[in-house]
Structure 1
Amino acid sequence: MADQNVKTRYKCKKFPREKDIIVEVPGSKSITNRALLMGALADGKSTIKGVLFSDDSRVFMSALMEIGYIVEIDEDNHTVTIEGKPTRSSEEVNVYVGSAGTAARFITALLAFSGNAYYVESSEQMRKRPMKALLLALEDMGVEFVYEKNEYEFPFHIRPFRADKESYEVDLNIDASSQFLSAMLLSAPVLNADLTIRLTGERDAKSYVYISTKMMKEFGAEVEQIDENTYRVRKGQRYREMVYQVEPDVSAACYFYALAAVTAGRAVVKNVHFDSTQGDIKFVNVLEKMGCEISDGELGIEVKGPEGKLKGLDIRMSDFSDQTMTLAAIAPFSDGVISISGVEHIRRQESDRINAIVSELRRLGIKVDEREDGMDIYPGEIVPTEVETYDDHRMAMAFAVLGVARGDVVILNPECCSKTFENYFEILDCLMKI
């Protein structure tokens, strides 16, 4: 990374206007981790191509190896091969899930249904993130957890559990994270019993659940959706071995689309198209409403930013909330208020993302009204300053868009983006030089 001091700072140079941006982004984290899990549970050997290699995915792979799966890694070719039958241990196995929400939730459900004893530990950051609703649902099924410190937080022991019923019905609240539902659905074939999950709570954001059910079908297991809030996985299903291609990460692509939007530029991210299963593709439609020109060509989606200011808008982002920070970062360049709602749950992610956005925009001289489930951001002149990133990869990447659009803004702890996009700032530097 350029302009850093012991990997703690990135000073943003002003990005040229009306510049063409053509980039490739890593594979999707969400799809990578789902494919890794189903490859591990499949009969036979599966090969996952286009794998994202990042802090989160490496933790996921390491956890699978700790469980006893044989995982062959080829980072140069972005490929992972997994043997579907783990080695078994008669003793308690230690598993570490780091700060990765997907690993923490998916691996916990897998271990709960696997019938062995496990001790599961996480990073300090992950201990503060929601797990309770998932753990309660698993406890209701008969899984026993022994919490070493605080109830419903890591670290904990999982006692051996064997399904002793033909079917299980369980209530699950996904207000804090839809990953709870994905975790239970993805691991349900291990259970060897019918599993019916009834959703409680108010959250209706299920774009990531759709990714899970679609991929399960591709790997050979069907999910029945009984009604809007009831899902069932029938016993006796198994995942099949596959060669699976991971889509490019739309979440990562959106930072470059946003950069084009605020610099009157043109951005194309290779191999990202509107047929993507990822919910963050909706951000492209938001940019269109704000005045960008959008097209989908052979190379990928193209976003052309307007000559003038972006248009203000009122948007509910519950189903693509990872782009809240990206929209917030370009909001000061609009001609009116950007009102974001439906994202209360992001207060409990890598950081309190609503408070983090509000705090840093105010530090940059921008007026923001904070609400429990969102914020109103007013257009304004940015005052160059240092931006705190809260060890949150999306804060670092999104506010870097604001930083290079304005220039002279400093992003602190830029290396935290290694969680999902290791060479993000290197790509920004390269685009400056082209």
Structure 2
Amino acid sequence: MSRIRIKKITHPFNAVVEVPGSKSVTNRALLLAALSNEECTLNGVLFSDDSRHFITCLLSLGFKMQVNEVERYVTVKGCDGNIPKKEATIDVGSAGTAARFLTSMLALSDGTYTINASEQMKRRPMLPLFEALESLGASFTYLEEKGHLPVKVVGARVGGKIPANKVYIDISKSTQFLSALLMTAPMLQDGLKVQITSKKTSGSYINITMNMMRQFGCEVFHNESVYDVPADEHYRSSTYQIEPDVSAACYFYGAAAITGGRALVKNVHSNVMQGDMKFLDVLKQLGCAVTEEREGICVTGPYNGEFNGIDIDMNDFSDQTMTLAAIAPFAKTSTTIRNIGHIRLQESDRIKSIVTELTNLGIEVKEYEDRIDITPGKIKPGVVGTHDDHRMAMAFALIGLVVDGIEIDDYECCGKTFENYFQVLDYACRQ
């Protein structure tokens, strides 16, 4: 594993940066384009480990595509809900979106497929989605551990069968289960009604899913715990623009907060649909000024980077838990981050990863099942373990901008979503 030392800056962060396209939007758009009834060109595509796995999977399934990483676009020839190859093997790598979305697509098809995954993805939850898809008529053979990838799937439409059109699912472990079902619902002749059985019934990523389905011409009706995709819906869009990744933008906004500096991220505007926009409200509560300019949204940190801690529920934008956790030791008072138990089931047990790494740096952290309490303190130099988690690598790099002697181990894991993050951060620090 490789290691990088973060260079402490002696001045407030002051930079204009551009971030890649959103992973969440990119992989949803790839799926919707493949299921559409026409050729679609996606612009501003994120090229990273996750999106490349998604693209490779679609190619393995026989979809005709033109991929241009230099100009950041992908053209997909949609097959109107049909999969060109009726037998194939795909590898989703560590991409949760690819794992959940493509599993649903293959399970509602008329083919037989094998789905492989990385060791990391094999540990992540899949059983609620498998069980829901089985209730619609698909069948799964577990090739290793029950309820986990890898699997062999026989599609619900094999032999001309008509799948059921109502399904029940618990989304407390991942809202991607619901997104997968909704986006693949137009593959079903009679549409699909989804009844949520968990206390959690919605979320920001589900909103992204429904917005994008509408942008591709497919309506979703939502009433409390029920989601309904009518019969005879079809995706269609000749072009689609991918939004910049707000999750990535927030690391630079965080740098402005802890140094009393300024960060403008190009093309991030208030009309983007990603839930991590809520992190801007957190930064406001920390004393930052947030303004929208022609080029993008700008965050100016509090004077001298001084701010109080916060008590916040981050359930609906939990990808920024690591960012706030990296900022919290520099506050004047304690920080509590609540309702984040589900992040234990992501790329790493993110609660335990945060507690382990902050503790190793000399910060007092109290760990609970679904929350953490962080007490400000003097950070000592040290090596941050990333736990093969891209967000741990990117967020905890912020600490090194303020404290000398911080190194990030296995920093290249950020290739999952932002492969040149550390080069962009270094350049931004020198502006």
Q: Same fold (TM over 0.5)?
A: yes
**Residue identity matched to 1:289:** Q
Asked if the contact 1:35/1:48 (under 8 Å) is kept, the reply is: yes
**Residue identity matched to 2:238:** M
Instruction: Look up the match of 2:409.
Output: 412
Summarize deviations over 1:3-36 as a string: whole Å, max 9, x none: xxxx611101112332321100000000001111
Instruction: Look up the match of 2:67.
Output: 73
Instruction: Look up the match of 1:235.
Output: 231
Asked if the contact 2:156/2:162 (under 8 Å) is kept, the reply is: no
Instruction: Look up the match of 2:324.
Output: 327
Identify which range, 201-210 or 216-225, moves more after superposition: 201-210
Summarize deviations over 1:139-177 as a string: whole Å, max 9, x none: 111211111121111111111321745852111111011
TM-score in terms of structure 2 length: 0.96
Task: Give distance in 1, aligned partners of 2:256 and 2:354.
Answer: 21
**Residue identity matched to 2:51:** S
Task: Give distance in 1, aligned partners of 2:58 and 2:326.
Answer: 36
Summarize deviations over 1:338-378 as a string: whole Å, max 9, x none: 10011100001000000000000000000101110010001
Instruction: Look up the match of 1:4.
Output: none
Return the match for 1:13 from 7, 28, 38: 7
Aligned pairs (5 A) from 1:8-157: 8-85=2-79, 88-90=84-86, 92-157=87-152
Asked if the contact 2:329/2:363 (under 8 Å) is kept, the reply is: yes
1:19/1:89 Cα in 2 relative to 1: closer, same or farther (>3 Å)? closer
Instruction: Look up the match of 2:244.
Output: 248
SS for the counterpart of 2:303 is coil
Identify which range, 296-305 or 48-57, moves more after superposition: 296-305
Segments of structure 1 that go 5 or more residues without pairing to the other structure are 1-6
Instruction: Look up the match of 2:385.
Output: 388
Summarize deviations over 1:384-422 as a string: whole Å, max 9, x none: 100100010000000001122212101000000000001
**Structure 1 residue runs of 4+, over 6 Å off?**
none
Question: Percentage identity across aligned positions?
Answer: 48
Asked if the contact 1:16/1:263 (under 8 Å) is kept, the reply is: no
Tell me the C-alpha RMSD between the 2 structures.
1.3
1:431/1:166 Cα in 2 relative to 1: closer, same or farther (>3 Å)? closer
Asked if the contact 2:256/2:301 (under 8 Å) is kept, the reply is: yes
SS for the counterpart of 2:228 is strand
Task: Give distance in 2, aligned partners of 1:88 and 1:290.
Answer: 52
1:205/1:398 Cα in 2 relative to 1: closer, same or farther (>3 Å)? farther
Task: Give distance in 1, aligned partners of 2:163 and 2:199.
Answer: 30
Asked if the contact 1:312/1:336 (under 8 Å) is kept, the reply is: yes
Q: How many residues align?
A: 426
Distance apart, 1:120 and its partner CA: 0.7
SS for the counterpart of 1:262 is helix
Task: Give distance in 1, aligned partners of 2:426 and 2:290.
Answer: 25
Return the match for 1:370 from 359, 367, 371: 367
Instruction: Look up the match of 2:267.
Output: 271
Asked if the contact 1:368/1:375 (under 8 Å) is kept, the reply is: yes
Summarize deviations over 1:69-116 as a string: whole Å, max 9, x none: 0111001110000011277345x3111111000000000000011110
Distance apart, 1:296 and its partner CA: 1.0
Instruction: Look up the match of 2:345.
Output: 348
Q: Does 1:284 align with 2:276?
A: no
Identify which range, 401-410 or 349-358, moves more after superposition: 401-410
Task: Give distance in 1, aligned partners of 2:241 and 2:173.
Answer: 29
Task: Give distance in 2, aligned partners of 1:241 and 1:391.
Answer: 36
Task: Give distance in 2, aligned partners of 1:312 and 1:326.
Answer: 13
Summarize deviations over 1:257-286 as a string: whole Å, max 9, x none: 000000010000001112110000000110
Instruction: Look up the match of 2:420.
Output: 423
Asked if the contact 1:219/1:242 (under 8 Å) is kept, the reply is: no
Q: Does 1:259 align with 2:274?
A: no
Summarize deviations over 1:25-68 as a string: whole Å, max 9, x none: 00000000111101111111100000000000000000011111
SS for the counterpart of 1:360 is helix
SS for the counterpart of 2:165 is strand
Asked if the contact 2:107/2:156 (under 8 Å) is kept, the reply is: yes
Instruction: Look up the match of 1:172.
Output: 169
